[in-house]
Structure 1
């Protein structure tokens, strides 16, 4: 049967590559399209706009300010969606996702805190405040002493050590050494690179992926100067284009899923 598959959130180079691998009709939208669920069927805008087409499968990869509505619609539709829309809903609010993840990880750390917007804290040791729902090192600050939160923020101790990302792609797990010129480390720094896999972090990432029911996930950890490990955050829609080996595995994963 010829299916209609919708790609949402991919940039044009990745859209072109996936279209060559996926058989059947493919609709692609780099940003959120119009959609509706009606009588158990999912309809999404055609690429040229205007009429909507019935869609049989969805592959979602992106983070948008108002994407939670789409996840609700996809969950109510109940059709094949990669990743699982319930898992994406559980992770979309970064603070709520962290709380869920800390309840499951082997490496929750210690001394976490929270301050609502407009609240004031006075911390005696250096902390990291995080707010908002964006990743990539945004919306974070190192604080000590009195600090007023402009936005509702989580607090965690500043852990000296090496920042790493563990990426799960189906059955494969890879580890990246994050890098940067200051305390904010990222996969986008030119010196970030793949590194040997830590077996404990691999297993922890597998367990969190299972908990959230997500086939692709990336966890950021600190490996402390004393060897202790700390989960920092869960990325439910991680970057898959920075390293060719990760993109190839991801493309293979979603292509195989389309044929399942």
Structure 2
């Protein structure tokens, strides 16, 4: 039987991440709520919520943590060739709710269903407060891909991405990394291992190192408020070039 601590009424209080379970990897606590103060405190401590409809809120801090060094994101050779003729457009913070709902749609691998209505409401609220952001990929007027996450200081915590066309989620992730790197965000949290993300340069970081990194980055001055238009200048061809 798994015994987990229940979160207290203090929205900033979480168990030490070293007490997280090894199996399932990173399960730390349950309960609490999805209020903005609690969510921001969780991310700043290397913790995130992940649960399915009908479950209590579960809080996780896996070890190791998958991260991407934004300035060193990898563009595979075949994708690089394809990007040179891509005419999609990239936008930031123009369709946050639509990106979240697209990420919540059922997928062929069974993913997406963990984004409950409560999660949608909580992260949309964080977006309105200037903490959560999205990057969208369009083909003409059609939204075909995107990614969203949380920014605290100079750290970006990726949450989920989606693709309605081949390569659309890759373009979203590459564009986000490119934009973040140029704005002084050196690291993107990718949470858990994914073979797909590893092809783009994601790597495993020991949880203790991850916590040290985010403690430093979250304390720095970030980019407050809405990010609408922040990375709209990017084109797919730009993602083939080295990040300045």
**Is the TM-score greater than 0.5?**
no
Larger RCO of the pair (alpha carbons < 8 Å, separation 6+): 2
State the structure with more CA Rg: 1
* Larger proportion of strand: 1
Per the normalisation by structure 2, the TM-score is: 0.24
